Each structure stands twice: as C-alpha cells, then as structure tokens.
Amino acid sequence: MERARVIAWEPKWSAGATCPVVLASDRGLTLLYNVALEEEESVGVVTFHRDRAHRFSGINDEILSGHPLYGKGLDPYSAHEVENSAWLKELQKVHSVHDRYDPTRWASVKHYILCFHDDMLEVLADGFTVEKRSGTVKEVLTGFVPELAI
C-alpha cells in the first residue's frame, strides 16, 4: 500500500513565506526556499541526485486533504518519502518498453514530497543533499546561477 513517511529535514523551511524556487533541466533539479525564522535570513539549497521526474504544484495546506496520500502519512509543512509509490511504478512501466531497460537502475530511486504553505514539490530521485546559505532567496539565486551545470 502506498504511504507517505515523514523524514528528517534540515534546515526546516518557513511555515509562512517559503518562496520555493525550482530550477530544473535535463541535468538535474535544484530547490531553493526560505529557512524557518532565524536571526539572519537564510536559504535552503537542495540538490536532487539523478532527478528522474518532478512536479511542482499549487497544492497548499488548505487543500492537502484532497491529495491521495492524505490520511496515509502526508503532513503539512513536512518532507516525506513515499513507500510503494504509484507514480514511480507508472514511470518504470513507461520506461520498460525500451529495449535496454534495466529494472536494477531504478532500485535506488525514491519518491519525495515536500509540503510547503502554498505549494507542493514531488520528486523522483536517487537522493538529495541540502545546504544552508545566508541571504534572501533572490540574493542566493543570483549568486547560484553561475554554479548551475546547464
């Protein structure tokens, strides 16, 4: 049965104005967001490893109860890993028609869901790393653009 399991996430995002920014290309996915209230403004920068697919939607805390995983472990303002992901199985089925399809290449792929105040990000990836940078999302983004592998 498909279930969402809350996972540890640091630094925690702001419950209010998270301002998530998703940068995606065929080479990867990066997320920037406002860190929960601190003395100085700071931004979480998340790099998803081997991003296979993602969806960034306006599913917010007021309509979270309409999500298929609501009541199955999905909590507002939390990060999750989905167990027995229907979306992951669907994507594997699509890829399975390729003559060189190898199911072992999918063994490390995980389905992540990040529930923000106004948005939700779902990612199929091999993992992620998170770091914290000083400044606003706009300032960090401006400095981060030259680092992107595009």
What is the structure's pLDDT at 149? Answer: 57
Which residue shows structure tokens 């960090």? Answer: 140
Measure the CA–CA gap between 105 and 87, rounded to whole angstroms: 16
The number of folded domains in the chain is 1
The 10s digit of each residue's pLDDT in 83-114 is 999 999 999 999 889 999 888 888 999 999 99
Give the pLDDT confidence of 13-68 residue by residue, as tens digits: 877 777 899 988 877 899 999 998 766 789 999 999 999 999 998 888 888 889 99
Query: Given this model, what pLDDT does residue 37 score?
Result: 73
SS3 state at 105: helix
**Residue 64 CB neighbour total at 10 angstroms:** 16
Q: What was the pLDDT predicted at 6?
A: 97
Confidence band for 71, pLDDT divided at 50, 70 and 90: very high
Q: How far apart are CA 150 and CA 146, in angstroms?
A: 9
**Res 9 pLDDT > 90:** yes
pLDDT at residue 54, rounded to an integer? 95
Quote the CA–CA distance of 112 and 101 in Å, as a whole number. Answer: 23
In this structure, what are the phi and psi dihedrals at residue 146, rounded to the nearest 5 degrees? -65, -20
Asked if pLDDT for residue 150 goes beyond 60, the answer is no
Residue numbers of the domain that contains 75? 3-147
Who has greater pLDDT, 82 or 145?
82
- Give CA–CA dist 99/136, Å, rounded: 47
pLDDT of residue 146: 67
Q: Tell me, yes or no, if the pTM score tops 0.85.
A: yes
| Residue 10 confidence class, pLDDT cut points 50, 70, 90 | very high
